[in-house]
Copies of this chain bind each other. A is one copy, B any other.
């Protein structure tokens, strides 16, 4: 929208850290940009940037302005969505940030189901770790977040929480695969593969290991759960994942097939997948409806 152009530029400058760089990105000259910002500051009543040698940085007032901007922009999009909705178009766009575990099965299925009813609604799905996901909400970059074990819950309004046990993933012919439930100390004696500290699974395992006076020594540490999953086939190691990210047969049909066994709950407490939005925000219709569907689906999960 035309009337938000100045705010867009302010956001660009804040991100770039320099007017000249932001001006290049926005395809205008630095002088024009500079004058827009100076004019806004005059109107608003105070400067919103600290001028430093080498660039600019938002001051506290500027931070507030930027937040205000993001609020009204998302609010305007919501209004536009509602208007489209009342003219019967039922269009919209849903932006979701989620943990890796939601990618292979859960989200594709849910999105497809939603789009079967509402083909006019498009989706943007971004993979984010726990901390990034919450930042996405605060900056209004995502409407919904679906994440295992969120970090701070500041500005995070919980729409639903689905408990998830941590599962050990291994080849069917792995020595531990015979047990229906696996003790953590048995895992520690084996070769195992872990996600990095940014992820909820690792966080839970770290705490559990600390309680056993152990520290974790993974053979491989990675950001990719897909790598974990494939790696355990090659080295007969143990990987970890939560049920929502798994679809493996209880009875394997081949020795190199994957099996998943829950970790004993007395060793490793269950975590939860949280569905959340920005606190206090009114979601666009499409996002709100999708959130309802997700919440229902999470509630219907086994376990």
User: Given known contacts A3-B3, A3-B6, A4-B3, is B46 in contact with A83 (CB within 8 Å)?
Assistant: yes
Q: Which residues of B have CB within 8 Å of A64? A: 79, 82-83
- Judge whether A219 is part of the interface by a CB distance below 8 angstroms: no
- Judge whether A43 is part of the interface by a CB distance below 8 angstroms: yes
Measured between alpha carbons, how far is A75 from B6 in the docked complex, in Å?
Answer: 17
Q: How far is the CB of A7 from chain B (nearest CB, A)?
A: 8
- Judge whether A76 is part of the interface by a CB distance below 8 angstroms: yes
User: Given known contacts A68-B76, A68-B79, is B46 in contact with A87 (CB within 8 Å)?
Assistant: yes
Name the interface residues of A55-97: CB closer than 8 Å to any CB of B: 60-61, 64-65, 68, 71-72, 75-76, 79-80, 82-84, 86-87
Q: Are A61 and B45 in contact (CB under 8 A)?
A: no
Name the interface residues of A7-54: CB closer than 8 Å to any CB of B: 7, 39, 43-46
- Which of B7, B46, B65, B80 lies in contact with A44, CB distance below 8 A? B80
Q: Which residue of the partner chain B has the closest CB to A60?
A: B86
Q: Are B46 and A65 in contact (CB under 8 A)?
A: no
Q: Are A68 and B61 in contact (CB under 8 A)?
A: no
Interface of A is mostly: helix
Give how many A residues have a beta carbon under 8 Å from the other chain's beta carbons: 28
- Judge whether A212 is part of the interface by a CB distance below 8 angstroms: no
- Which of B45, B60, B75, B84 lies in contact with A72, CB distance below 8 A? B75
Q: Which residue of the partner chain B has the closest CB to A39?
A: B2
Q: Are B72 and A86 in contact (CB under 8 A)?
A: no
Q: Are B79 and A65 in contact (CB under 8 A)?
A: yes
- Judge whether A280 is part of the interface by a CB distance below 8 angstroms: yes
- Judge whether A1 is part of the interface by a CB distance below 8 angstroms: yes
Task: Give A109-131 as 1s and 0s: 1 = Cβ < 8 Å from B's Cβ atoms.
Answer: 00000000000000000000000
- Which of B4, B61, B71, B82 lies in contact with A86, CB distance below 8 A? B61
Q: Which residues of B have CB within 8 Å of A82? A: 64
User: Given known contacts A61-B83, A82-B64, A86-B60, is B71 in contact with A2 (CB within 8 Å)?
Assistant: no
24 CB-based A-B contacts, threshold 8 Å: A2-B39, A2-B43, A3-B3, A3-B4, A3-B6, A3-B7, A45-B80, A46-B83, A46-B84, A46-B87, A60-B83, A60-B86, A61-B83, A61-B86, A61-B87, A64-B82, A64-B83, A65-B79, A68-B79, A71-B72, A71-B75, A72-B72, A72-B75, A280-B280
* Given A1-B43, A65-B79, A71-B72, 16 more pairs with CB closer than 8 A: A1-B44, A2-B39, A2-B43, A3-B3, A3-B4, A45-B83, A45-B84, A46-B83, A46-B87, A60-B86, A64-B79, A64-B83, A68-B75, A68-B76, A68-B79, A71-B75
Nearest 6 A/B pairs, CB to CB: A3-B3, A61-B83, A72-B72, A68-B79, A64-B79, A1-B43
